[in-house]
A and B are shown apart, each in its own frame.
Chain A
Amino acid sequence: MRRVACTLVLPLALLVAGCDGGGKAHDRAAVAPGVLASGQVTHQGAPVEGAFVILASRTTGEAPDLPASGLFTDAGGAFSIHAPGDVYDVVVVHPDGLVGEGTLDLGAGPATLDVVLREAETDASKIGPGALQRLLSLGSLEADPSLLSEED
């Protein structure tokens, strides 16, 4: 897998970091097993291990309360999650600067999603108006990127 120096998702993340998603902090009880969502994450045709799968509910704007271990892909690039029945925007991130996105509709039962990761730095259009922008639209953005230092 080729390394990349940076990803476009990182500046984008900078633009939104600090936003709390617009939801109130609350204590959520562990959810029931839910509906099976599964899939495979690949890059250039090869499975990607260790990618992190982020689900954002289109209903609540929040991530479902899931065991953290299920959110990482295994050696075969596969993930398998039981989540509440809902429609989710999905963003998958790998430390090598790879990003991908998709949608999972668990409203009618189990669903699968195969995600192809891209080197996000190469072309902004590849990020597309998909789930990432959906994420960006959540909550109130601060005037400044919150991770930028306030000093010179």
Chain B
Amino acid sequence: MDLRLLLAAALALPALAAPAHAQARAGRYDVQGSDAALGAYAGQVELRSTGAGAYDYVRQVTYQQPQGGRALTTVWTGRATEQGQDLRVVVSLKRIGWITRAGALARTAADQAPVAVLGTLRPDAGGGLSGSLTGAGVSATDVLRPAGAVGAAPLFRAERRLEPLHGRPPALLKTALFAVFAGYHGKPEVAPYTRDLRFRDAVHQQLIDRTGFEFLRARPQELLVVDQVVDAISLVEADVRRSAFGLRAHEKAALHGQDVDGPLRDVTGLVAYGARQTPSGVEPVDDMSTCLWSGVYLYSQALRHQVTREAAALRNVEQLAELLCDLVEIDPRPGEFARSLRPIGRAPLGGSWHAGQGRFAHLAWHDNGNNDMVKGLVLGFLGAWDVLPPNHPLRPRIVAAVRDLADHWMGSTAAAGVASGTKRASSGNKLMIGMLAHWITGDRAYQRLWQSTIRKPLAMLELASGGTFSAYGIADWSGTHLGVCSRIALVELGRRLRTPWQPLLDMSLESGWRAVRRYSRCTLPWSAARAGLLGRTGDGAGEATLWGLREFPYPKPQHEVNRRLDPEWVASPYPSLPWKMDWMTNPGRLQGLVSYPTYMSQPSNYVWRSTPLDAGDPATDLARPAPDYLFVYWLARKGGVIAATE
């Protein structure tokens, strides 16, 4: 053969081979190696061709050395490209997740830039690829061996997306709101964001981040860090995510239940605000709004008892129903009730705290059982009346307490000189209390009162429209919880009274859910109630309930979350609760444009009362109870929205 022909053929070979070679590296590989900080590991690498010698790169490795007693797996996702025989890998690892301080380590602005990890993998004598991957503070040496073709689904896929919480605000409205809040936009903590297009658009969003759910469900005791540098903080975040996704809903219900029935119950028996560990033991902290949380918790335990018949649930109902009666009886003024109790010697009396008299002499009580707290009494007494045995000695006390409320809340204003709430006479309160009194006493006078109330045009309007609202990221977050408590009580009581008004009561729950449902980190009880009580799981109510429970961690994290350190975070153009008129002086009114999943926050003592658009919270030494989780969990279980095995 002519030498020139041979040369030409040799030169042509790479070009002829190029199309096949472009995918030559595609496939799955077993990988082993060593990380400079984390030690030896093994796992898999996937190269999925995107054409022209480029690949989607996924590397999932598990380290031999556990972290805090748990196996650690890291996932890197990036791009790989062929360069001759080599493969160039590029991965970007974040430093900042959501927790900004853990132990001695704190995030700073310097952590905002991601770490670029670069690597070159080269064909080796073993028939695979090997090489190093390095970046600032990251160094690993990989040895890859072919392990077959890629599957239909990627080795790992991050599931993270943003969904809008509402439509674009009308231009006129936005202009008006921006004018109202012009001074707020000039505040130092807000001003840096005012040029951001997301700020200017003023469309709030919800972060859906279910990354690692399948992995953690399969390996609930392990830690998973995805596209992030491993350090003390990201390991804590991994553990929080593990508890949220790895533990099943019923496991979290059992754990939260043990806590709220144990160290997070105050010595009074009411649900505590939290508890701190001291050298002498666990020290509970009283909650000035425990009437509401304890009443809701009682209701959840009544649901639990109806589902499981567990004696412990009935004991909770008995104990808490007695305490709700105490709250009504300890305030000597007719129609007034206490919103909290604490041991008499825990703190000085004065202000809203008063010494109990007679059999309550060992207690101090907090006055101002108001429009908010009364929802706890109604739901609590409703639950107790459902499950207490017929001749239970608490029943006469409950009747007396409810009559006291009904007689004074339905036809009169608050007692003179005390701040029992200017809103006690709202139609919603009158309806709830009147229906409860009618149901448990059979007294037709109460029937006439609530039926008169429901026939008011404005009461009808409030019911039909759902009685709650959200407007372009502005909502009364605590009010959404009060609203759903009212709607649950109305729907439940309507059924027990077999009222022809039931369709309107059901409509009220439906309308309220439609108004606020998208803010599900805060408004999950609406979805659970709509799905559980009305049997309407469609339009996302069932899914929202399921995922809301899945995103709820155990225990409630106590770490600092400062979202302003996250380079992706942007302030909302509107302060929270603007009707408080303190946005220029109260730094707590700062809120963000994005609602994060519950596990990516520092949950308050009661999540459903708190803004889902928070800008973060400082670390706390308080362990916090979760009557919020148990409320939604048992609503969902009772209504068949989730299975007992979930």
Residue of A nearest to B430 (CB): A20
Is B461's CB under 8 angstroms from A91's CB?
Answer: yes
Is B422's CB under 8 angstroms from A143's CB?
Answer: yes
Interface flags for B452-485 (1: CB within 8 Å of A; 0: not) read: 1101111111101111111110001011011100
Report the contact-size class of chain B (Cβ under 8 Å from the partner).
35 or more
Identify 9 new A-B residue pairs, CB closer than 8 A, beyond the known A68-B501, A147-B467, A152-B478.
Answer: A5-B470, A7-B469, A10-B467, A14-B469, A17-B467, A54-B464, A63-B455, A97-B511, A150-B421
Q: A6-B166, A20-B456, A54-B461 are in contact. Are A97 and B479 (CB under 8 A)?
A: no
A68–B166 Cα distance when bound, in Å, is 33
A97–B579 Cα distance when bound, in Å, is 23
6 A-B pairs in the complex with CB atoms less than 8 angstroms apart: A10-B471, A20-B459, A68-B504, A96-B514, A97-B515, A143-B422
The segment from A25-33, A40-48, A106-114 that touches chain B is: A25-33
Is A71's CB under 8 angstroms from B511's CB?
Answer: no
A129–B481 Cα distance when bound, in Å, is 32
B500 within 8 A of A: yes
Distance in Å from the Cβ of B637 to the closest Cβ of chain A? 26
A14–B462 Cα distance when bound, in Å, is 8
The CB with the most chain A CB atoms within 10 A, among B289, B449, B465, B501, is that of B465
Is B507's CB under 8 angstroms from A142's CB?
Answer: no
A90–B411 Cα distance when bound, in Å, is 27
Is A138's CB under 8 angstroms from B457's CB?
Answer: yes
Contact of A11 among B289, B426, B427, B469 (CB under 8 A): B469
Is A5's CB under 8 angstroms from B515's CB?
Answer: yes
B162-220, CB < 8 A from A: 165-167, 170
A68–B494 Cα distance when bound, in Å, is 13
Q: A5-B165, A135-B457, A151-B289 are in contact. Are A93 and B476 (CB under 8 A)?
A: no
Is A149's CB under 8 angstroms from B482's CB?
Answer: yes
| B interface residues (Cβ-Cβ under 8 A, vs A) | 165-167, 170, 289, 370-372, 410-411, 421-423, 425-428, 430, 448-449, 452-453, 455-462, 464-472, 476, 478-479, 481-483, 499-504, 507, 510-511, 514-515, 518, 577, 579-580, 588, 609
Is B465's CB under 8 angstroms from A150's CB?
Answer: no
Residues of B within 8 A of A14 (CB): 467, 469
Is A25's CB under 8 angstroms from B452's CB?
Answer: yes
A32-90, CB < 8 A from B: 50, 52, 54-56, 61-63, 65, 67-69, 71-72, 89
A152–B471 Cα distance when bound, in Å, is 18
Is B458's CB under 8 angstroms from A21's CB?
Answer: yes
Residues of A within 8 A of B423 (CB): 18, 142, 144, 146-148, 150
A61–B289 Cα distance when bound, in Å, is 37
Q: A13-B462, A68-B501, A72-B503 are in contact. Are A148 and B452 (CB under 8 A)?
A: no
A89–B457 Cα distance when bound, in Å, is 10
A99–B465 Cα distance when bound, in Å, is 9
Q: A11-B471, A63-B455, A69-B500 are in contact. Are A150 and B371 (CB under 8 A)?
A: yes
Is A6's CB under 8 angstroms from B462's CB?
Answer: no
Top 10 closest pairs, chain A to chain B, by CB: A18-B426, A10-B469, A149-B478, A146-B426, A56-B457, A93-B464, A5-B166, A146-B423, A21-B456, A95-B511
A97–B426 Cα distance when bound, in Å, is 22
A118-147, CB < 8 A from B: 121-123, 135, 138-139, 142-147
Residues of A within 8 A of B411 (CB): 25
Distance in Å from the Cβ of A5 to the closest Cβ of chain B? 4
A104 within 8 A of B: no
Residue of B nearest to A16 (CB): B458
Is B503's CB under 8 angstroms from A68's CB?
Answer: yes
Is A69's CB under 8 angstroms from B503's CB?
Answer: yes
A99–B166 Cα distance when bound, in Å, is 19
A86–B135 Cα distance when bound, in Å, is 81
Distance in Å from the Cβ of B75 to the closest Cβ of chain A? 35
Is B458's CB under 8 angstroms from A26's CB?
Answer: no
Is A148's CB under 8 angstroms from B511's CB?
Answer: no
Residues of B within 8 A of A55 (CB): 457
Residues of B within 8 A of A65 (CB): 455
Residues of B within 8 A of A122 (CB): 170
The CB with the most chain B CB atoms within 10 A, among A21, A26, A72, A99, is that of A21
Is A52's CB under 8 angstroms from B460's CB?
Answer: yes
The CB with the most chain B CB atoms within 10 A, among A72, A123, A149, is that of A149
A152–B478 Cα distance when bound, in Å, is 7
Contact of A18 among B425, B452, B483 (CB under 8 A): B425
A65–B454 Cα distance when bound, in Å, is 10
Distance in Å from the Cβ of A42 to the closest Cβ of chain B? 18
Is A151's CB under 8 angstroms from B609's CB?
Answer: yes
Contact of A151 among B372, B471, B518 (CB under 8 A): B372
Contact of A63 among B166, B430, B457, B577 (CB under 8 A): B457
Is A9's CB under 8 angstroms from B426's CB?
Answer: no
Q: A6-B166, A11-B469, A97-B514 are in contact. Are A25 and B422 (CB under 8 A)?
A: no
Distance in Å from the Cβ of B452 to the closest Cβ of chain A? 4
Is B504's CB under 8 angstroms from A20's CB?
Answer: no
Residues of B within 8 A of A16 (CB): 458, 461-462
Contact of A20 among B289, B425, B500, B502 (CB under 8 A): B425
Is A63's CB under 8 angstroms from B479's CB?
Answer: no
Q: A6-B470, A123-B170, A144-B423 are in contact. Are A17 and B458 (CB under 8 A)?
A: yes
Residue of B nearest to A151 (CB): B478
Residues of A within 8 A of B579 (CB): 145, 148
Residue of A nearest to B166 (CB): A5
Is B165's CB under 8 angstroms from A13's CB?
Answer: no
A99–B466 Cα distance when bound, in Å, is 13
Is A28's CB under 8 angstroms from B425's CB?
Answer: no
